[in-house]
Amino acid sequence: MTDIDDLVQRVAVRAASDSGDLPAPVDDARIAKAEAQLGFALHPLLARLYGEVADGGFGPDYQLLPLFGPGSSVVGEYLERRQASAGVEHPEWPEGVVPILTWGCAMYAGVDCFSEDGQVLLFEPNPYSGGSWEECWFLDAAGLAAWLETWLAGTGWFEEDAFENEDVAEPQPWDQAADRLLSSGA
């Protein structure tokens, strides 16, 4: 078993223990449909989570969004944010970053499907003061696997008592934000 296989298995066990009513995983056809609508492939680990664990409903705090849905979903939120960013001087949402979870107060966790490790980003628009949105983007984890490990270990910044622990890594400004947003407005 590879490390990723082990991680997916541990996430599945935690997801099942946290919720007695998880949605069923999605099949390959639904993942392919999502990727077709997005216009790019989901990060491989993210696709495995949806295909092997559940169609959202697990993970930190508010839990992962479903791929599709009548309400908030990965595909729906991404397409809405990208449409709002098209052709504007200051796009809000970069291409290739799918929102996977809402933190509330208009904040999202997103996975950069264009990065090899699937960087997990935090979009925090509340301090936005006009102009570029780059100040609203933070690197939460260098990769989706690392982000999941912090959730499994209960050591993420998002944990209720996280600020009592001096070792908790807080999201830092995303150094690629300006370039990625600039290239996303076309």
Cα dihedral 70, 16, 155, 169, rounded to 10, equals -30
Residue 14 pLDDT > 60: yes
Element (H, E) at 138: strand 137-141
Q: Please tell me the total number of residues recorded for the chain in this structure.
A: 186
Quote the pLDDT of residue 161.
66
Q: Which parts of the chain fold into alpha helices (H)?
A: 3-18, 28-38, 44-48, 74-85, 144-153, 177-182
* pLDDT tens-digit readout, 158-175: 887 655 666 667 899 999
Considering only residues 130 and 186, tell me which one the structure prediction assigns the higher pLDDT: 130
pTM, to two decimals: 0.93
Q: Which fold has domain 3-154+168-182?
A: SMI1/KNR4-like (3.40.1580)
Q: How many CB atoms lie within 10 A of CB 109?
A: 26
Share of the chain above pLDDT 90, in %: 76
Domain-wise residue ranges, the chain: 3-154+168-182
Q: Which two tokens stand for residue 68?
A: 């599709």
List, in sequence order, every residue forming a beta bridge with 139; answer none if it has no partner: 121, 172
CA 22 to chain centre: 19
- Secondary structure class of 178 (helix, strand, coil): helix
Strands 120-123 and 137-141, bridge-based pairing: antiparallel
* pLDDT tens-digit readout, 95-118: 999 999 999 999 999 999 999 999
